[in-house]
Amino acid sequence: MSDFWSTHEVKSGSGYLSPEEKDALAKSGQPFEITGVAFEADNKFGPRYKITLALPDEATGETETRLMGLAKGSGVTSRDDILQAMIDDHFGAGESDPISAILEKAGNSYLIKPAP
């Protein structure tokens, strides 16, 4: 038997929400805080927004920091516009207060909406 596993480790979790976690978050209507947004023009997934979230952990109830990637230029112009505005008019303008939001699914797309 090879000792491959004794010298290599499977890295668990990248910090990004999985597709299943995005679906569950959208279905739950759970509010979360957006604590940062960055635009990545070049990465292996194409241009995207990287959103830093403060989410309540379902198991512990404590807040955890997670990441969510949403493609730019996928035809969801309203989402692209609001995320770019968060960069330009809020976080990039020196504001540090989090933005309360919810995730909503419309068709195959995820939308960022204000928390109720």
Q: What is the pLDDT of residues 19-40, one digit of tens each?
A: 999 999 999 999 999 999 999 9
- Locate 40 and state its tokens: 């990545």
Asked whether the whole model's pTM tops 0.75, one would answer yes
Q: How many domains does the chain have?
A: 1
* 116/111 Cα distance (integer angstroms): 14
For residue 59, the model assigns a pLDDT of 79
Decide if 72 is inside a domain. Answer: yes
Decide if 55 is inside a domain. Answer: yes
* 78/112 Cα distance (integer angstroms): 9
Range of the domain at 31: 15-114
* Residue 44 main-chain phi, psi, to 5 deg: -65, -15
For residue 109, the model assigns a pLDDT of 94
* 82/71 Cα distance (integer angstroms): 13
Decide if 106 is inside a domain. Answer: yes
Report pLDDT digits (tens) over 62-105: 899 999 999 998 889 999 999 999 999 999 999 999 999 999 99
Decide if 8 is inside a domain. Answer: no
Decide if 81 is inside a domain. Answer: yes
* 77/49 Cα distance (integer angstroms): 13
C-alpha closest to that of 112 among 69, 65, 73: 69
Evaluate if residue 14 carries a pLDDT over 90.
no
Q: What distance lies between CA 52 and its chain's CA centroid?
A: 6
Decide if 4 is inside a domain. Answer: no
Evaluate if residue 1 carries a pLDDT over 60.
no
For residue 11, the model assigns a pLDDT of 57
69-79 b/e (C-beta count within 10 Å ≥ 16 → b): bbbbeeebeeb
Decide if 78 is inside a domain. Answer: yes
pLDDT top residue among 43 and 92: 92
Residue 6 — very low, low, confident or very high, per pLDDT cuts 50/70/90?
Answer: confident
Decide if 31 is inside a domain. Answer: yes
For residue 56, the model assigns a pLDDT of 85
